[in-house]
Amino acid sequence: MSRASGQARPSRRARRAVSLLAGVIMLLVGVGFVLYPILSSARAQEETSEALAAWRSEVVVEDRAQGEMTDEAADYRPKEGDDTYEQLLAYNDEVRNGTGDAVNDPFAFASDDLAALGLPDGIIGSVTIARLGETIPLYLGASQQNLDRGAAVLAGTSMPTGGDGTQCVIAAHRGPRVGLSMFRDIETLEIGDAVVIETPWDTLTYQAVGFDVIDPNDTGALAVEPGRDMVTLLTCHPYGHNYQRYLVRCERSDDTAELAPSPVEAVAATVTHAIWPGWSEGSPLLNLENVLRLAGLLIVLGLGVWALASMARRGSRRGPGGAHFD
C-alpha cells in the first residue's frame, strides 16, 4: 500500500462521517417538522381539555334535592329550575321574535350580565369539529378578547340550547390562537361532517349541510330559519385577505353515535390534519402555505434519506479490512 493511499483513507473516512452526520441531522429535522405541529397541537388541545374539565367541575351542579342521579345525568346541570338556562331560552325567544340584540353587538354581553347568568368567565361550553381535530372553548360574545381565547357566539343570534327556530352563529379567527388552529382550515369541512356543541346542560350534535360566502354586513344570512335547529360556523375569508365571511351551515342530527369518531379515527384525523390539512378552494394563500410546508418537509426528508443511502452504497463497495472492490 502506498503512502498516498494511506493518507487518503482517513480523509475518505472523515467525509463518510460528515455525510452520515448530515444525513442523520436532516432526518431528525424532517421528523421534527412532522412531529412539532402534531405535538404542539396535541399539547395545546390537552391544556384546553384540562381547562374545560375544570370549568365543567365548577358550573355543572348536581340537583341533590332529586336524590341519587344517574351517571349520565350527573354530567349535566338540570334544565328545570335553572335560572341561567331559562334566561338563555328567553334570549332565544327575543332573537326569534326580532326583539333581541343587534347581531354581533360588542356590548350585548357585559361582564355584569355574565355574572348574573352564572357564567362569570363568559364560557358557555365548547365546540368540537372532528374533521379539524379540535375542541375549542366557546364564549358568549364575539369580542376581540374572547376570539383571542377561543370561539364565540355572536350576540343577536341564538344561544346554544338547540330547539326549533334557533340559529347559533359561532365565530372564530382564521388562524392559530392559544396553540389551536381555530377555523384556519374550515374550508376542508364536507357535507355530513359533525360539529358537537357541549354546554353545562346538553351535548348537541350537528351535521354540515351547506356552505356560503357572504359580505361582512350581510346579517340577514344569519337569521333564524323557522322550524330548523341550526348552528352556523363563521370566519374571515379568503384566508389572508378577510374581506368576506365564510359560513358552514349545520343542522341538528340525532345520529350522535354514527357521527362520533372512534379514538383511533380521532388520532388519525389529528395527525393527518397536522401534516396536510386539505385543499381550500377559495383561499390560494392558505394552499400555498400548506404546499410550501409539505414541500419543505419532503425535501428535508429526501435529502436525509439520500445521504444515508449514499453512505450505505459506499460501505457496500468496501470489503474486509476496508479494501475497495471497484
Supply the residues annotated as catalytic.
Answer: 173, 236
CA distance 51 to 7: 64
Residue with cell 459506499: 314
- Nearest Cα residue to 175 out of 167, 165, 166, 185: 185
- State the helix-helix crossing angle for 3-59 and 284-316, rounded to 10 degrees: 140
CA distance 304 to 299: 9
Q: What is the three-class DSSP state of 140?
A: strand
Cell numbers linked to 92: 332565544
How many other CB atoms sit within 10 Å of the CB of residue 209? 15
How many other CB atoms sit within 10 Å of the CB of residue 302? 12
- Nearest Cα residue to 208 out of 112, 299, 92, 127: 127
How many other CB atoms sit within 10 Å of the CB of residue 9? 11
- Nearest Cα residue to 224 out of 141, 173, 163, 172: 163
- Nearest Cα residue to 178 out of 40, 274, 33, 39: 40
